[in-house]
């Protein structure tokens, strides 16, 4: 009986070690692919067609979380520095009770960003969907993704794997919890699978080229008070 338990524990140990090794090497590969295209200085990041703000949590239905606000502030800085001409906000608006996109739009307008230069993607339910829709729906040729340093390798990896000329710009203010790094380590595996399997986002819809105007507001997902073309 003791031998069986020892054998079982040994198998569990080997399986756990193999899983950890897989997670490590996948994250290393994702980081290596994306790292040359990630910047911390706005002066060094190349110009692009648009800055892409991936969604993050919204508190009480309208207030941006600290991480989300950091991304928006970084996007505004790049826009004002002349690095981009358009701002693409991509987030979760799957129900009428939750909207990550409109609060950012209001924030940008309050900061004096012209409404015609703001594009809204209400179906950016995850990083993969945001990058896929940026290329296929908004017909982006090049983007600067603004996010925290822990998230940028995966975002840039996905975007470039999908054929989008993407650069990353770190929007950090030192307010990142350990759980975010743990979650990100696991999310990289899913990102690689999504790319390998050529996963399609839940919603696609009609083209909304960034080369045009952001007016009227870009079509929304079913939960938003807008016209959505499935």
Q: Is there a domain that residue 206 lies in?
A: no
Helix axis angle, 178-197 relative to 127-136, nearest 10°? 50
d(CA 195, CA 200): 10
Q: Is there a domain that residue 89 lies in?
A: yes
Q: Is there a domain that residue 230 lies in?
A: no
Q: Is there a domain that residue 223 lies in?
A: no
Q: Residue 44's domain spans which residues? A: 2-197
CA 44 to chain centre: 21
pLDDT reported for residue 128 = 97
Helix axis angle, 152-161 relative to 127-136, nearest 10°? 40
User: How many helices and strands (H and E) does the chain possess?
Assistant: 6, 8
Residue-wise pLDDT for 52-103, tens only, equals 999 998 988 789 999 999 999 999 999 999 999 999 999 999 888 889 999 9
Residue-wise pLDDT for 111-158, tens only, equals 999 999 999 999 999 999 999 999 999 999 999 999 999 999 999 999
What are the CA-CA distances from residue 50 to residues 26, 146, 175 (Å)? Answer: 29, 11, 26
Predicted confidence band of residue 226 (pLDDT cuts 50, 70, 90): very low
**Listed range (85-89, 165-169, 218-222) with the worst mean pLDDT:** 218-222
pLDDT reported for residue 222 = 45
What are the CA-CA distances from residue 22 to residues 16, 19, 179, 180 (Å)? Answer: 10, 5, 20, 19
The number of domains in the chain is 1
Read off the tokens for 118. 């703001």
Contact yes or no for 38/155 (Cβ under 8 A)? no
Residues found in the chain: 230
Q: Is there a domain that residue 7 lies in?
A: yes
Task: Summarize the confidence of residues 11-21 as an average pLDDT.
Answer: 82
Instruction: Flag whether pLDDT at 215 surpasses 50.
Output: yes
Instruction: Flag whether pLDDT at 161 surpasses 60.
Output: yes
pLDDT reported for residue 175 = 67
Of 119, 214, 196, which Cα lies nearest the Cα of 157? 196
Task: Give the count of beta carbons closer than 10 Å to the beta carbon of residue 143.
Answer: 28
Whole-model pTM: value is 0.85
**Which CATH number goes with the domain that contains 178?**
3.40.50.620
Q: Is there a domain that residue 211 lies in?
A: no
d(CA 49, CA 83): 8
**Dihedral (CA of 90, 229, 160, 81) sign:** negative
More confident residue, 185 or 156: 156
Buried residues in 112-125 as b, exposed as e (16+ CB within 10 A): ebeeebbbbbbbbb
Q: Is there a domain that residue 227 lies in?
A: no
Binning the chain into helix, strand and coil, the percentages to the nearest 5 are 45, 15, 40
Burial class (CB in 10 A: 0-12, 13-18, 19+), 36: exposed
Q: Is there a domain that residue 221 lies in?
A: no
Of 129, 128, 154, 155, which Cα lies nearest the Cα of 143? 155
CA 201 to chain centre: 13
């Amino acid at each position: 009986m003791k031998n069986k338990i020892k054998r079982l524990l040994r198998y569990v140990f080997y399986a756990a070690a193999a899983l950890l090794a897989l997670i490590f090497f996948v994250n290393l590969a994702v980081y290596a692919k994306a790292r040359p295209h990630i910047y911390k200085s706005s002066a060094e990041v190349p110009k692009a067609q648009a800055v892409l703000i991936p969604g993050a949590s919204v508190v009480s239905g309208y207030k941006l979380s600290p991480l989300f606000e950091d991304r928006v502030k970084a996007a505004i800085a790049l826009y004002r520095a002349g690095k981009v001409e358009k701002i693409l906000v991509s987030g979760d608006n799957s129900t009428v009770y939750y909207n990550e996109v409109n609060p950012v739009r209001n924030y940008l307008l309050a900061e004096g960003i012209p409404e015609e230069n703001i594009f809204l993607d209400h179906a950016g339910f995850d990083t993969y969907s945001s990058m896929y829709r940026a290329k296929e729906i908004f017909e982006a040729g090049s983007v600067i993704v603004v996010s925290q340093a822990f998230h940028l390798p995966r975002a840039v990896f996905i975007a470039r794997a999908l054929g989008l000329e993407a650069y990353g710009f770190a929007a950090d203010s030192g307010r990142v919890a350990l759980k975010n790094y743990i979650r990100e380590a696991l999310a990289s595996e899913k990102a690689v699978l999504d790319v390998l399997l050529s996963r399609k986002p839940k919603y696609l819809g009609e083209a909304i080229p960034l080369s045009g105007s952001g007016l009227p507001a870009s079509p929304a997902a079913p939960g938003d008070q807008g016209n959505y073309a499935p």
